[in-house]
Amino acid sequence: MSETFVGRTALVTGATSGIGRAFAEVLAHRGMDLVISGRDLARLESVAQDLREEAGANVEILVADLADRDQIDLVAQRATGADIALVVNNAGYGLASAFIGGTLTEEQQLLDVLVTAVMRISHAALPGLVERDFGGIINVSSVAGWLSSGTYSAAKSYVTTFSESLAMQLRDSGAHVMALCPGFTRTEFQQRAGMNTDTIPELMWLDAHDVVQVALTDFAAAKPVSVPGVQYKTLGLVAQYLPRPLVRVLSTLERKYRD
């Protein structure tokens, strides 16, 4: 990331673990102040204290459950602040249950967190970023968005396409939007989603801090999509250009790895 971000503020959702926490740590050590958002006040306070002690960052806490529209809008309102230079829409999770047999409430909450929150926070933040002609938004998506792997995959497909569309609209602006599309990354995500990870080959795993470093490099280069890891760059190309019947076969194989 450009040194011009030093002393500016980043808003990171889902910042208490995984890729979100890695973003908060890397950005703080690069000289940015932070607004960190999540559902758990105690965990937010712990992360904030660590960042203050280890990186000397100013850290603001924003407790919000992004499955709740009113709380989404609290985060969206903070994203309009004139001090905000970067928004990282990272909050997300997967469901252990299949769509058929699962509950409508769970599916709606997943959609609200993965799609509605990203859209509303981006809509709030972008006018100020464009006016200041600086900074932008990183929306954490997934290589799963190119597969046919349930409603999580469908939601991430929206996030990637949405981000690419905004990147094109802003191609003449100093503000930028990028989709970050990692593959399997060692975080709490897999446990929370009830995934069996024992059969996933070691070479398919990414480190959260490595993912963030690649993302920030690609963001500085104004790339519309960032795919960390050679293995996932290859998989992403295959998934995007194969005929859809073959992509469905690939998706079936991917599900077998994690079921």
Contact by Cβ (8 Å): 47, 20: no
Within its chain, how far is the Cα of 120 from the centroid?
14
* Angle between helix 230-241 and helix 244-258 axes, rounded to 10 deg: 140
Helix (H, G, I), strand (E, B) or coil at 12: strand
Helix (H, G, I), strand (E, B) or coil at 176: strand
Q: Which residues contact 213 (CB under 8 A, 6 or more apart)?
A: 26
Q: How many whole angstroms separate alpha carbon 23 and alpha carbon 249?
A: 34
**Residue 138 β-bridge partners:** 88, 178
Q: Which amino acid belongs to residue 51?
A: L
Which of the residues 93, 152, 158, 257 is marked catalytic?
A: 152
Which candidate, 230, 181, 186, 239, places its Cα nearest to that of 208?
186
Please indicate whether residue 241 is annotated as part of the active site: no
Contact by Cβ (8 Å): 89, 56: no
Active-site positions?
Answer: 152
